[in-house]
């Protein structure tokens, strides 16, 4: 029997607001423990929450970007549970009336496009952090993160494989970054994902029992955890056993998932509207104001790159996956109007450096002027493509001008016809047997002669010019 996986993701994104969702404390990451706290975010009796308007704006940006319906009135609700990182013993979240419902995110896997539907987007506050002492059996609580605004984005169970799950997460991260509402850093926890997964016989229209996976802080972990879990569940079904509905933690060292707790139901949380916060009314005017300020989104930009610059789908996909990279590309093309050449350079030489350092292009000293200048030097035959590749890491690292580096390192190609002709003649007279072969019809030998000239000039001869001279001399 063949099985298929059914996956739905619940993603939490920390918003890039300066202050927390219900108080004026800073949201900055990495401050000393309990530095950014006040009576509100530490749950002191009698303190009252006041909603940060910017959180609603950010939620609206995302809702509009993914085509979700914005509820004209949304309500904050208390979600009750006990845990030491939750000082009020309830989390302010949204339940019955979230800010937005519906919408979809389009993904592409193996050249196939697919829409993953969204159930809802809601606003809520983050919890604090427990810090466990390594030497003594005690734990500390850091409330800096308590009250940092989150958007939770819940997908429909439309995802069918670990690859699709990762494509969905990457696309969602690209969108929130384009919108400037979240930095999308999974390692630091500003984008977190819980994955719900079940399996069923292929072709079946019913869903199997689902398991919720937690504790995956990279795309790779999400993929590994899902792969393991799908295999585990199929194994159970093949043995005639049942999948138990539960929450499981991914153990990255072993690459396995382990049971953490039975799954809680919504009624366990005793949700009810928070009496300290009034319902939020969002009128058409507000929605339209936010819509007017939306940037060009990844899918639209990708389509435009294909249309306007004649780029292949593959190039457009990679370049638009990051807004700074897409903008960098366009700036380069303005200065050096050969889109495919710019794209090739960015996708190989530039991305290699960026991936090595784990940086975005706007976090480096590289400027569009440098890339354009370098490509122009190659285009005009001043340097070879090999020389360009050789100096690029230094251009990237230092932000120095390629022209300057070319002069300093003496990489300028020898294009002076007279000088090159002399060397060509020398090579021909040194290799009479090869010259005979060429004249006898074996035109391929020209490659050998070019190679010899390059050797004599220590790679500095312009191969195009050398080729022309050799052909002329041999045909004489």
The residues pairing with 151 across neighbouring beta strands, listed in sequence order, are 13, 123
From the list Zn ion, ligand ADP, none, which binds 184 (C-beta under 5 to 8 Å, kind-based)?
A: none
Per the CB < 8 A criterion, the answer to whether 200 and 235 are in contact is no
Return the residue of 8, 49, 147, 149 that touches ligand ADP, per CB under 6 A: 8
The region that residue 458 occupies, defined by phi over 0 for left and psi between -120 and 50 for alpha, beta otherwise, is left
Minimal distance, residue 113 CB to Zn ion, in Å? 44
Burial of 31 (0-12, 13-18, 19+ CB in 10 A): middle
Return the residue of 97, 151, 197, 282 that touches ligand ADP, per CB under 6 A: 197
Taking CB under 6 A as the rule, does residue 155 contact ligand ADP?
yes
| Cβ-based nearer residue to Zn ion, 128 or 298 | 128
Applying CB under 6 A, what is the total number of residues that bind ligand ADP? Answer: 16
From the list Zn ion, ligand ADP, none, which binds 153 (C-beta under 5 to 8 Å, kind-based)?
A: none
Applying CB under 5 A, what is the total number of residues that bind Zn ion? Answer: 5
DSSP labels for 326-378? HHHHHHHHHHS--HHHHHHHIIIIIHHHHHHHT--GGGSS--HHHHHHHHHHH
Taking CB under 5 A as the rule, does residue 23 contact Zn ion?
yes
Return the residue of 20, 79, 122, 210 that touches ligand ADP, per CB under 6 A: 210
Return the residue of 25, 56, 97, 182 that touches Zn ion, per CB under 5 A: 25
Taking CB under 5 A as the rule, does residue 243 contact Zn ion?
no
Q: Which of residues 246-275 bind ligand ADP (CB under 6 A)?
A: 266
Calpha distance 299→278 (Å, rounded): 37
Taking CB under 6 A as the rule, does residue 153 contact ligand ADP?
no
Calpha distance 193→15 (Å, rounded): 15
Taking CB under 6 A as the rule, does residue 103 contact ligand ADP?
no
Return the residue of 4, 10, 57, 256 that touches ligand ADP, per CB under 6 A: 10
**Residues with Cβ < 8 Å from 6, sequence gap 6 or more?**
157, 159, 160, 197, 198, 199, 200, 207, 208, 210
Return the residue of 14, 17, 52, 196 that touches ligand ADP, per CB under 6 A: 196
The residues pairing with 328 across neighbouring beta strands, listed in sequence order, are none
Taking CB under 6 A as the rule, does residue 435 contact ligand ADP?
no
**Considering only CA atoms, which of 75, 105, 78 is closest in space to residue 91?**
78
| Cβ-based nearer residue to ligand ADP, 140 or 207 | 207
Binding map of Zn ion across residues 33-62, x = CB under 5 A, - = no contact: -----x-xx---------------------
| Dihedral, 338, 341, 343, 348 alpha carbons, nearest 10 | -160
**Residues with Cβ < 8 Å from 4, sequence gap 6 or more?**
160, 199, 200, 201, 202
Return the residue of 198, 233, 343, 413 that touches ligand ADP, per CB under 6 A: 198
Taking CB under 6 A as the rule, does residue 100 contact ligand ADP?
no
* Footprint on this chain of Zn ion (rule: CB under 5 A): 23, 25, 38, 40-41
């Amino acid at each position: 029997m063949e099985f298929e996986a059914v996956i739905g993701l619940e993603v939490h994104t920390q918003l890039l607001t300066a202050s927390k969702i219900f108080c004026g404390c800073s949201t900055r990451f990495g401050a000393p423990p309990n530095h950014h706290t006040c009576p509100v975010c530490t749950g002191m009796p009698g303190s009252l929450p006041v909603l940060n308007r910017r959180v609603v704006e950010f939620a609206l940006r995302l809702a509009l970007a993914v085509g979700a319906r914005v509820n004209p009135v949304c309500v904050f609700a208390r979600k009750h549970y006990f845990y030491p990182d939750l000082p009020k013993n309830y989390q302010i979240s949204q339940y019955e009336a979230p800010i937005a419902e519906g919408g979809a995110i389009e993904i592409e896997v193996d050249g196939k496009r697919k829409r993953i539907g969204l159930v809802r987007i809601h606003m809520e506050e983050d919890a604090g952090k427990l810090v466990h002492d390594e030497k003594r059996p005690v734990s500390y609580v850091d409330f800096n993160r308590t009250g940092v605004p989150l958007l939770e984005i819940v997908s429909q169970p439309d995802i069918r494989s670990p690859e699709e799950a990762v494509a969905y997460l990457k696309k969602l991260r690209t969108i929130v970054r384009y919108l400037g509402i979240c930095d999308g850093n999974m390692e630091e926890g500003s984008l977190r994902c819980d994955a719900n997964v079940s399996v069923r016989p292929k072709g079946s229209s019913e869903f199997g029992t689902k398991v919720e996976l937690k504790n995956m802080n990279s795309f790779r972990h999400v993929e590994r955890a899902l792969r393991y879990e799908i295999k585990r569940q199929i194994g159970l079904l093949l043995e005639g056993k049942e999948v138990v509905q539960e929450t499981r933690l991914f153990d990255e060292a072993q690459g396995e998932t382990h049971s953490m707790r039975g799954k809680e139901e919504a009624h366990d949380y005793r949700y009810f509207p928070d009496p300290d916060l009034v319902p939020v009314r969002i009128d058409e005017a507000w929605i339209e104001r936010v819509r007017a300020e939306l940037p060009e989104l990844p899918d639209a930009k990708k389509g435009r790159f294909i249309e306007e610059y004649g780029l292949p789908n593959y190039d457009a996909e990679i370049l638009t996956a990051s807004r700074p990279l897409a903008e960098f590309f366009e700036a380069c093309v303005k200065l050096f109007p050969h889109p495919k050449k710019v794209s090739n350079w960015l996708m190989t030489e530039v991305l290699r450096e960026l991936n090595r350092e784990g940086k975005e292009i706007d976090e480096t000293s590289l400027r569009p002027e440098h890339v354009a200048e370098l490509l122009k030097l190659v285009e005009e035959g001043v340097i070879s493509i090999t020389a360009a590749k050789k100096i690029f890491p230094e251009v990237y690292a230092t932000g120095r001008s390629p022209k300057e580096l070319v002069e300093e390192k003496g990489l300028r190609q020898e294009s002076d016809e007279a000088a090159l002709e002399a060397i060509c003649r020398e090579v021909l007279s040194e290799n009479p047997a090869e010259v005979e072969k060429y004249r006898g019809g074996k035109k391929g030998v020209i490659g050998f002669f070019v190679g010899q000239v390059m050797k004599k000039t220590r790679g500095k001869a312009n191969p195009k010019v050398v080729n022309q001279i050799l052909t002329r001399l041999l045909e004489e």
